[in-house]
Amino acid sequence: MSEVIGELLGVGHQYDEGPEIFKGVSFCIEKGSFRFITGLSGSGKSSLLKILYLGLKPKWGSVKLFGKDTFQIKPTLLPLLRQKIGVVFQEFNLLDHLTVIDNVSLPLRVRGIDIKQSYKHAGELLEWVGLGDCLKAYPPSLSGGQKQRAAIARAVITRPQLLLADEPTGNVDDEMATKLLCLFEELNKTGTAVLITTHNQRILKKFPYPQLALKEGTVFQLPIEKKAS
Amino acid sequence: MNKDQDLPLRNDIAARFVPKIIILMVYLGTLCSTFTFFMIHSTLLWEEKLTTHLSMEIPFFSDASSKDLQTRVTDLLQKTPGINKVEVVPKAEMQTLFHSLLGEGTNVDTFSLPAIVDVSLNKGDAFDVDNLETQLKAISPLIQLIDHRLWQSQVSNLLFTSTSLALLLTFLILCSTLVTTFFATRTSLLIHRKIVEVLSLIGATPSYIAKQFQRNTFKQGLFASSIGAFLAFLTFLGIYFLLENVGQTFIVKTSFFFEVLAIFILVPFITSFFMMLSARRAVMKALCS
């Protein structure tokens, strides 16, 4: 049995006095696993991911990451947990005052890696995702797809133990989407657990991995899609 | 790429007003600490002067007995143990003193001026003033012994109070500088909330984020407090030359000038260091709670 690095138990959430987005959600994330979270828009996919990257505290249930109960952990230890997670935000969350290479190398710098080395890694990665000519560009001057790729590069640069991607293919064409999913697959092969929210059916068909579907506030395990050619 | 640029702190609103406040605070604080130093120096000099000096006042008689009285007194003083130096204040000095009090045109020769004998005591030796006074009264009951130590404690108390007040004021100015820095950092943290949130989510520790604020605050503090200290130095020089022009002297000892110079050089570094700690505290308090 593979090692569990994340565990949600009876997790539920509602924003302020609004309706419950989901309730009693329980599932495990095993080391080296690859999963999609699917569901209609507004079903709570992004909120679920937010809970996993410790950006949101659920109202009910418990969340364990890397063996630590995130409700019990000291606030000073949260960054250490976050350093094991790579996140591709739906709104990219690139820092507009930093160049693309600065944005991508940021996770390395916050871990204390020197600027030269982090620039080297970031440069190589950006070259790979097709942003080799945008190293010194600022995010506001990039297209949606370019921002998406920069955000992905930033999320994977540290080779995290868990990669959470919120609609990572939402702003790119099919060819780039496939290329990015291949990057996630490669990362997965090195032991990174990958959890991706998407509603892109072509991607789901092309990459037949287990799916968790969020529907009416609960989560269902779906059968693996038949691989498309 | 500079390490301290993860957050665009240089151009935010907080950065605009803080340096101006710091310049003013440091200007006032530096002048205040210079004044404190001046008071401490003065107190020490006064105490040294007052505890080691006595004065005798020998009344003037129109016959020759005045001169004889003066000789007997000086003889007695020179034989008394614990006395370092006996000096009769010269007539010219007495005249200068009276001219300064009564005006240049005053003919002091018409006054029956007493002779003043200035006595320096050995530093640290116990001296029996009462015994000396008895012996002087035996020579002439009209001889007055002026022991400055009697009112030295009152002057010392006054100087101590002034020094303490100046110190307190300096401390309060430093505190307000630090409080200003604390709240400016909190404001800055709010302005850059989104960026701080992203940094936290990608694994930046509160300490990493605090360092960015610290570096910026230190640079800003050093720049602003250097200007404040420089302006205070100009004011100090202004006061010094003003006093020189009216015939007074501000510098009580040569070393005082160098000590004051050290204050002007050190204040910017000390201020910016404490400002840096204040900024760190503000960030850590907000992010670790």
Q: Is A215 within 8 Å of chain B by CB? A: no
Q: Do A119 and B6 touch (CB under 8 A)?
A: no
Determine the distance in angstroms separating the CA of A73 from the nearest CA of chain B, rounded to an integer: 12
Note whether A100 and A87 are within 8 A (CB): no
**A53-67, B33-47, B153-167, B267-281: range with highest mean pLDDT:** B267-281
- Collapsing DSSP to helix, strand or coil, B84 comes out as strand
Please check whether residue A180 is in contact with residue A172, taking contact to mean a CB–CB distance below 8 angstroms. Answer: yes
Backbone dihedral region for residue A64 (phi beyond 0: left; psi -120 to 50: alpha; all else: beta): beta
Q: A93 contacts in B (CB within 8 Å)?
A: 198, 201
Burial, B224: exposed, middle or buried (Cβ in 10 Å; 0-12, 13-18, 19+)?
buried
Please give the span between the terminal C-alpha atoms of chain A, in angstroms, as a whole number: 31
pLDDT of residue A87: 93
pLDDT, residue A199, reads 83
Look at strands B115-121 and B53-58 and give their pairing.
antiparallel
Q: Do A115 and B8 touch (CB under 8 A)?
A: no
Q: How far apart are CA A170 and CA A167, in angstroms?
A: 5
Q: Do A110 and B208 touch (CB under 8 A)?
A: yes
Contact between B1 and A75 using a beta-carbon 8 Å cutoff: no
SS3 call for B83 = strand
Mutate to test the interface with A, among B3, B202, B208 (most CBs of A within 10 A): B202
ipTM: 0.87
Listed by start position, the domains of chain A span 95-159
The pLDDT tens digits for B89-146 are 887 887 777 777 777 777 777 777 788 888 888 877 777 888 888 888 888 888 888 8
Over residues A125-153, the mean pLDDT reads 90
Cα(B137)–Cα(A76) distance, integer angstroms? 81
Distance CA B117, CA B73 (A): 9
B193-201 helix and B149-191 helix, angle to the nearest 10 degrees: 70
Average the pLDDT over B9-13 and give the result. 77
Query: Is residue A206 predicted with pLDDT exceeding 70?
Result: yes
Is A205 touching B (CB cutoff 8 A)?
no
Could you tell me whether strands A4-14 and A20-30 are parallel, antiparallel, or unpaired per DSSP bridges?
antiparallel
Contacts of B215 in chain A (CB under 8 A): none
- Number of other residues whose CB lies within 10 A of the CB of residue A105: 28
- What digits encode the pLDDT tens for the residues B181-232? 999 999 999 999 999 999 999 999 999 999 999 999 999 999 999 999 999 9
- B150 versus B214: the higher-pLDDT residue is B214
Residues B127, B253: Cα–Cα separation, whole Å: 27
Indicate the residue of A93, A106, A154 with minimum beta-carbon distance to B6: A106
d(CA B3, nearest CA chain A) in Å: 8
Q: Which two tokens stand for residue B122?
A: 């050995």
A162: number of Cβ within 10 Å: 22
H runs (alpha helix) in chain B: 13-51, 65-79, 91-102, 129-139, 149-191, 193-201, 206-245, 254-288
Is A53 part of the contact surface with chain B (CB cutoff 8 Å)?
Answer: yes
Q: How far is A23 from chain B (nearest CA, A)?
A: 25
Torsion angle (degrees, nearest 10) of CA A144, A145, A146, A151 = 90
C-alpha to C-alpha distance for A42 and A22, rounded to whole angstroms? 10
List, in sequence order, every residue forming a beta bridge with A60; answer none if it has no partner. Answer: A12
Q: Evaluate whether B1 touches B235 at the Cβ level (below 8 Å).
A: no
Say yes or no: A31 contacts chain B, CB-CB below 8 A: no
Asked whether the predicted pLDDT for residue A98 surpasses 60, the reply is yes
Could you tell me which residue, A174 or A119, shows the higher pLDDT? A119
Handedness of CA A41, A42, A48, A51 (dihedral sign): positive
Reading the block at residue A214, the tokens are 């969020």
Instruction: Give tens-digit pLDDT for B47-77.
Output: 777 777 888 888 877 666 777 888 888 888 8
Q: Which residue has the tokens 């029996």?
A: B128
Q: Do B202 and A98 touch (CB under 8 A)?
A: no
Yes or no: say if A208 and A225 are a contact pair by the CB < 8 Å rule: yes
Please report residues of A whose CB lies closer than 8 A to that of B198.
93, 95
- Could you report the per-residue pLDDT of A58-68, keeping only the tens digit for each? 888 999 999 99
